[in-house]
Amino acid sequence: MLRWLIGGGREPQGLAEKSPLQTIGEEQTQNPYTELLVLKAHHDIVRFLVQLDDYRFASAGDDGIVVVWNAQTGEKLLELNGHTQKITAIITFPSLESCEEKNQLILTASADRTVIVWDGDTTRQVQRISCFQSTVKCLTVLQRLDVWLSGGNDLCVWNRKLDLLCKTSHLSDTGISALVEIPKNCVVAAVGKELIIFRLVAPTEGSLEWDILEVKRLLDHQDNILSLINVNDLSFVTGSHIGELIIWDALDWTMQAYERNFWDPSPQLDTQQEIKLCQKSNDISIHHFTCDEENVFAAVGRGLYVYSLQMKRVIACQKTAHDSNVLHIARLPNRQLISCSEDGSVRIWELREKQQLAAEPVPTGFFNMWGFGRVNKQASQPVKKQQENATSCSLELIGDLIGHSSSVEMFLYFEDHGLVTCSADHLIILWKNGERESGLRSLILFQKLEENGDLYLAV
């Protein structure tokens, strides 16, 4: 069932009141998303969205079903039933560019300890893989090698024909929580608070079998790793539950930078107060990253931080971007950033240049990371010399999308069709550019009038 609503700055009943420090008026002149469609098909928390092509996306969650939607109209196209418990990962496996027959696969993993492979075009169930000894928590595709990996208590490598090529031994009861590809046929797996580097060995003339070798373990994190992404071809970044941000070299796996001070230490605090402050790890947990050619954006607790790769320092932050933890962030065109949170809100930010004021310093911990200061009692004082004349940026709130009544888990951005959000309220919302949609409706109306000859009669 679809419901067409008009978006605005007014908050519906039942939603928690926003923090007065981070509100925006009803006149959201820079927010294009003034219309929305509410999509209903799921019966439990919707946790995942994946783009299939320019106009289709799939949603999945705790009810174990996958639904394919039309991003332009909001029409429900297909419902895929096969799992008996909640879905824990979903990914697409496109065909090789050199392959004449284009055939995209959809892979879904579930707490029922199965992975189902679906045909992305016909959406028929190609195969169910049920040989896993634990829940598969993550899936990733190595497009260049035309293989895909499943991560649970062990790491398995599969080909497009769904043959198991090789696997590791049991790694941990915790299981693999994230996987990314790095150079030299390697992958990085986050296992608890460890990072494990594996190298894939493809068949050669001397050996016709695949193999996967553990190359190195990185033990620098002090708590569980929550986020792991590639920054570029030369580096990747990880974030932990207690706010440790580490940037790594993707070639030799050495640490390039380390940071943990995501709050402002106060010289007035005694030791016991500092301990209590550190125990509020939820306030500094790094839940998600995104990046572009210039910056790394981090969702830290309820806040947002922007780190410039060129300037080697944090250039903007919003410590209280939301009322609760930020779960997902992504870049939009025109230096914009979007974030969603456990508080049920979706917010649009614009990164703007400004003259950094000495009275409003970027948290000093970041300067410690890049060698701008020392970790001592004076670390809480503004680093005036570095900041008085430094050109910095600010994150300005330009849009607040109100529609969900519970935690917003993630979102997708379509350049032509708008924004898609999914939530613990079991709903999916398709946010539309009101001005664009109005223009399209007018165009369709004129076309119909012209076809019927009514346009000339009206004239």
**Per-residue pLDDT at 384 exceeds 60:** no
Predicted confidence (pLDDT) at residue 272 exceeds the cutoff of 90: no
Mean per-residue pLDDT for 360-373?
A: 42
Burial 287-301 (b: 16+ CB within 10 A, else e): bbbbbeeebbbbbbb
pLDDT digits (tens, 9 = 90+) for 131-154: 898 999 999 999 989 999 999 999
**How are strands ordered across the β-sheet holding 346-355?**
326-332, 336-341, 346-355, 391-401
How crowded is residue 304: how many other Cβ atoms within 10 Å of its Cβ?
23
Coil vs helix vs strand at 319: coil
pLDDT of the residue at 135: 94
Task: Reply yes or no on whether the pLDDT at 6 is more than 90.
Answer: no
Q: CA 294 to CA 395: how far, in whole Å?
A: 15
Give yes or no for residue 414 having a pLDDT over 90: yes
Could you tell me which residues come within 8 angstroms of residue 180 by beta carbon, excluding any fewer than 6 positions away? 140, 187, 188, 228, 229, 230, 236
- Between CA 309 and CA 299 the distance in angstroms is 17
333/351 Cα distance (integer angstroms): 11
- 429 pLDDT higher than 50: yes
Q: In this predicted model, what pLDDT tens digit does every residue of 201-221 receive, in sequence order?
A: 998 877 789 999 999 999 999
Q: Where are the domains of the chain?
A: 44-262+281-354+390-452
pLDDT digits (tens, 9 = 90+) for 73-122: 999 999 999 999 999 999 999 877 656 566 789 999 999 999 999 988 87
Q: Are 87 and 139 in contact (CB under 8 A)?
A: no
Cα distance between residue 430 and residue 412, in whole Å:
9
Q: Which amino acid is at 328?
A: H
Q: What percent of the chain has pLDDT over 70?
A: 79
What gap in Å lies between CA 338 and CA 21, rounded to an integer? 18
Residue 248 CB contacts under 8 Å (≥ 6 apart), including other chains: 195, 218, 235, 236, 237, 238, 254, 255, 256
Contact (Cβ atoms closer than 8 angstroms) between residue 340 and residue 346: yes
Which whole number is the average pLDDT over 189-200? 96
Tokens of 192: 């608890």
- What DSSP state is assigned to residue 92? E
Residue 344 has φ and ψ, to the nearest 5°, of: 90, 5
The pLDDT of residue 154 is: 93
- Residue 220 structure tokens: 């620098």
Asked if the model's pLDDT at residue 15 lies above 60, the reply is no
Confidence of residue 257 (pLDDT cuts 50, 70, 90): confident
Q: Which is more confidently placed, 324 or 2?
A: 324
Least confident of 68-72, 256-260, 393-397: 256-260
pLDDT bucket at 261, cuts 50 / 70 / 90? low
Q: What is the pLDDT of residue 94?
A: 87
Does residue 270 carry a pLDDT above 70?
no
Mean pLDDT score across all residues of the chain: 82
| Architecture of the domain defined by 44-262+281-354+390-452 | 7 Propeller (2.130)
List CB contacts of 187: < 8 A, sequence separation 6 or more. Answer: 140, 142, 149, 155, 179, 180, 181, 197, 198, 200
* One-letter amino acid of 389: N
The answer to whether the CB of 350 falls within 8 A of the CB of 335 is: yes
Q: Is the pLDDT assigned to residue 359 strictly greater than 50?
A: no
